[in-house]
Every structure is written in C-alpha cells, then in structure tokens.
Amino acid sequence: MKKIKFIVIAGSSGGHILPALKYLNNLSSIKKPNEILFITNEKGKNYLEYIKNDEVNKLVLNSKNKFNYIFKVLFKLFFLFIFNKKITLLGFGGFITTPILLFSKIFNIILLSSNKIYIHEQNFIYGLANKINYYISENVFISFPKINMRNKEIFVGNFFLDRNKSKENLDDNFINILLIGGSAGSLDLNYKMLDGIITLDRAHIERIRFYIQIPESHYNIFKKKYADLIDISRCAFFSFKNDLNLKEYDLILSRSGSGSINEILYYTNNAYFVPHLKSRDQHQKFNLNYFLTHNMCMKKFSIPNKKKLISQFYFNSLINPYSIEKIICYTTR
C-alpha cells in the first residue's frame, strides 16, 4: 500500500472542485505529489486535466447511487486507512466528502489513528454535507466573514483563480455581453437572455456581441433560438472557457455561486446574478443577498445600450489572493 499523507475530496460542482484543484496544485509544489490523493466523482473527472502534477494520485468514484458510493468508499479506502494512520484530509463540500471524512474519524477512534480532518465552506451558509462534516472536523475554512464565528471556523476569504493566466481579447468597439451559468451552462439564464434580446431594437443589437455558455447537450437547440432573433455571427457559444476576461465585459449574467460571484465582482459590478433555487439549502440566494445589501452588483437586469466600462476594476474585499495558501499553512503545520 503506497504511502499517502494528504487526501483532498471534491466533486459534484465547479464551486467545490475549482478551489480543491488550486489547493492540490499548490500543495503538490511543496509536498511530495505521490503522497497526495485526490478523490472525486463523475463530475470531477472532467477537471482532472487541470491537476498540474501527474504524480498526484487520483480516485474517481461514481456517486449517482449514494449507497453504492458509500460501499466503494469502504472497499477502496479500508486498507489505505489501515496502513496510513497520519493523514490530513480536506473536504470541499458536497455529499461525497461526508462518508470519507466520517470513515477517517471512525479509524481515529477505533485504531487510535491521528488523521486530521478539515473542511472548506465557500458559501454564505453551510451546505447539508458540511453541516454534518462540521462535527467531525478540526477546523472549517470559511469564505464569508461573520460577526460571531463558531469555535472551529477560520476566515480565509474566497479563493482566487490564477490572475496571470492568458485572457481572451474582446473588440472594444462593441458592447460585449457574457452569460455564464456554471461549469455545465444554465438553461434558464439563456431563456432570460433571450427575453432581454426580444426587447431590443435592431439598431441596438448591431452594436452588441454575445458570449453565451450553453451545455453541450443543448447547443443546437439554443443556437437556433438565438438565430431566430439576431445575426448568429454576433454570438460566440461555449460550454467551458478558461480564459474569460471578466473586466472587459459591459454586462455579465451569471449564477450566484460563491466562486462566480466573488471573482466577477473583483473585476466589475456590471453584473446581474440569478441564484439557483433548486438546491435544498438555496445557498446561492444567501450569497447574493450579502452583495446586494452592500450595493456591490446590479439589482435589475437590463442589456446596456452603451459602453459601461470603467477605467479601473471593481475591488471585492472578500477576495483573498492567498486564501488557499492560508489553508495550506494550517493543513501542513
């Protein structure tokens, strides 16, 4: 059984996976990558290419059937926990983290292991999994400030993607509008954008370029819907972009997941957010309410008829460019 000193767990959504990837990449630059294990599910499998060091161990477990997933965790990790009794675990939220962290806690009690358990909560309120994980963790790294912090909480601010990565080039002669709905795109956001386009006059539309995120499964359907309203050459469709130049857009229509809302508002407040309300805890609504009460984003959706860009980016004070490094300081000490 290979030696493992660090286990990182994240899956289900980009909001969980992206900060985990940054943590993994930073951790593998100071610790032996072959002693790090990343556990994810079918969703996280699509992000494995962004792990910079190939020596990092990866374990993909299908979590669509929760009972089968728990069984696989027991089967795959039993001997790992037997032969490695000093593991540092960090869960980034979501159902897949809880069985693994709980399993580690049981080994601490029964076999007197000394595994350290940490979790990361990127939203304003705890998700269901992290509500459970809180009681078995040593510390919780939180992204939003609180007046009354709980004993285990450590405020690190929201993580930030690589600011030095290459950025797309936009034509400043046009009004550039971006729609992003998360890693899989967003159907209802596209319908909202289509409704907004219907209200525009022809002369106005000629000055606009649209950059639209659409799930690959619905690409042809929505391409036709946009083509019925505007010249399709003014639209650029994508399912995922890693080079978004957020500060150059005149309007951004987005979900209000913690990662999206924080990074967008670091560069611009010309943004309108629509929370995803189908989740059990409606955490995106609470994320958005925080910024609305501080007047940090648009309160009404309207497509601009002239350039709105300001000369300097809009600074979001919740962003901590070194939040992941702060987490590493705690988890490696």
In 3D space, the residue among 51, 101, 53, 46 whose CA is nearest the CA of residue 73 turns out to be 101
275-283: Cβ within 8 A, 24+ apart: 276/182, 276/186, 280/128, 281/125, 281/126, 281/127, 281/128, 283/123, 283/124, 283/125, 283/127, 283/258
Fold for the domain defined by 175-293: Rossmann fold (3.40.50)
Classify residue 319 by its DSSP letter: B
Domain at 6-158+321-332, CATH class: alpha beta
> Which residues, 6+ apart, have CB-to-CB distance to 273 below 8 Å?
254, 255, 256, 260, 261, 288, 291, 297
Q: Where exactly are the structural domains of the chain?
A: 6-158+321-332, 175-293
Given this chain, do its domains 6-158+321-332 and 175-293 carry the same CATH topology? Answer: yes
Q: Tens digit of pLDDT per residue, the chain (333 long)?
A: 579 999 999 988 777 888 999 999 999 999 999 999 999 998 888 889 989 999 999 999 998 888 999 999 999 999 999 888 899 999 998 899 999 999 999 999 988 789 999 999 988 889 889 999 999 999 999 998 888 899 999 999 887 766 666 788 898 889 999 999 875 667 889 999 999 999 888 888 889 999 999 888 888 899 999 999 998 888 999 888 878 888 889 999 998 888 888 888 888 888 899 887 666 678 888 888 888 887 777 778 888 888 876 666 667 777 777 889 999 999 998
> Which residues, 6+ apart, have CB-to-CB distance to 202 below 8 Å?
none
